[in-house]
Structure 1
């Protein structure tokens, strides 16, 4: 049987990149997948995530969502439950990035990054847990949450203030939720990707930055979205039956060295 048969998952930021790969992986394993994003068209180009899932015989729907808006997150989870009956897996992947140090970061940049990355994750976690508390357990679990953090949430990266702070907050939020809601049979884990080639434009694709990442990563290649998706599938499935509160590094050994 497929690992996520009869399960329903929301994946935020799933139109592109890592979120897209997670949504595709979940759908291939039998899940009903809600693609929650501000836009449906992938940054990488090509068919939308929903179109790819449906063309492969899976079940997916797109719901336009700004996770920095509590009312939008509330509506997202409500509409998902109305459509599919329950919420089994919540993947909080949506994030934005600025590359500035403390002095360079404007209050507007700070508020926007924290508003999406950290407050948005708080909204999604809060609404998901509230829903999961109303659900009967299946194989000992009422629901599973996967927060996408970052290695930048564990070590400082030059000129990366707001993003690193937001990701560090997500790591601690994950631990807190796992401890607070273990008795409720709600599982909460995080995944910390290393350097992942997503096809998105920006400073992350600067040739010098890529060269540094290749030299810094022990594994002989950089990561791809499907590497993170495989880790997410494990944490979303019953295979992770006694795993909660971890920050799983998918980084080719970067943090080990």
Structure 2
């Protein structure tokens, strides 16, 4: 029995990195996946997420989406329901960053990071809950929300003020939605990745940053996108029904050290 058989899942930021890994894992476990991103081409190169799912015999559609815009999020969830009949899982993963500290951060940079990382999650949660409230519960759950936060929502993100603040907001929003909508049978959790190696450019993958992360992480390797996808699968499945409002660390023991 596949863990997400016949479930309908929306994944934002699905073209690359963590979103790509989550979408592929969900499709492999039987979900009908709606891929949302501003672009289909993966940062890592190679075939698109949609193409990979179709090649493996999975079911998916793709929708161009700017998560910072209500009209786009509304259209995204509407497309999912019109195509597949309901919404079982909403994964709010899309994010951006500036790699700037307080005095370096320009107002426009701050506004863009907050618009994508925090407002985007707010809009995704709101539209998902609106839809889920109209649905019958299945195994005591109307729907599940999985937000992608970060360990930098719990400790400072060195040299990246907007990113750290936005991820801290995601952690609190997850708790708020979980508590406010528990009696509606809506589950809301977050996954907090530690150092995960993806194809994204920037100082996070500079040699000295990677060396520090290797020394700081107790587990003898750094994280892979599929590590995060496994946690996101667990929280999207019936295995986690009585778990809501948590921020699940996937960090190789970083925060325990």
Q: TM-score, normalised by structure 1?
A: 0.99
- Alignment map for 1:17-96 (pairs within 5 Å): 17-96=17-96
Shift of 1:93: 0.3
Alignment of 1:190-205 (within 5 A): 190-205=190-205
Match of 1:138 in 2: 138
Q: CA deviation at 1:157?
A: 2.5
Query: Are 2:180 and 1:177 aligned?
Result: no
* Alignment-derived partner of residue 232 in structure 1: 232
Measure, in 2, the Cα distance between the counterparts of 1:190 and 1:184: 18
Q: Distance in 2 between matches of 1:203 and 1:157?
A: 12
Q: Matched residues in 2 for 1:182 and 1:199: separation?
A: 36
Give the SS at the match of 2:238.
coil
**Which residues of structure 1 form unaligned runs of 5+?**
none
Whole-angstrom distance in 2 between the partners of 1:241 and 1:80: 23
After superposition, the CA RMSD in angstroms is: 0.5
Specify the SS of the correspondent of 2:189.
Answer: strand
Rounded Cα–Cα distance in structure 2 between residues aligned with 1:26 and 1:164: 28
C-alpha separation in 2, matches of 1:213 and 1:44 = 21
Q: Partner residue of 1:129? A: 129
**Which consecutive unaligned segments of at least 5 residues does structure 2 have?**
none
Q: Does 1:208 align with 2:204?
A: no
- Cα shift readout 1:149-185 (whole Å, capped 9, x = no counterpart): 0011100132111000000000000000000000000
| Counterparts of 2:158 and 2:149, CA distance in 1 | 18
Task: Work out the CA distance in 2 between the residues paired with 1:41 and 1:157.
Answer: 28
**In structure 1, distance between residues paired with 2:163 and 2:202:** 15
Q: Name the CA distance, whole Å, in 2 between partners of 1:21 and 1:4.
A: 15
C-alpha distance in 2, partners of 1:63/1:76? 7
1:64-103 deviation line (CA, Å, top 9, x unaligned): 0000011110010011100000000000000001111111
Moved over 2 A (4+): none
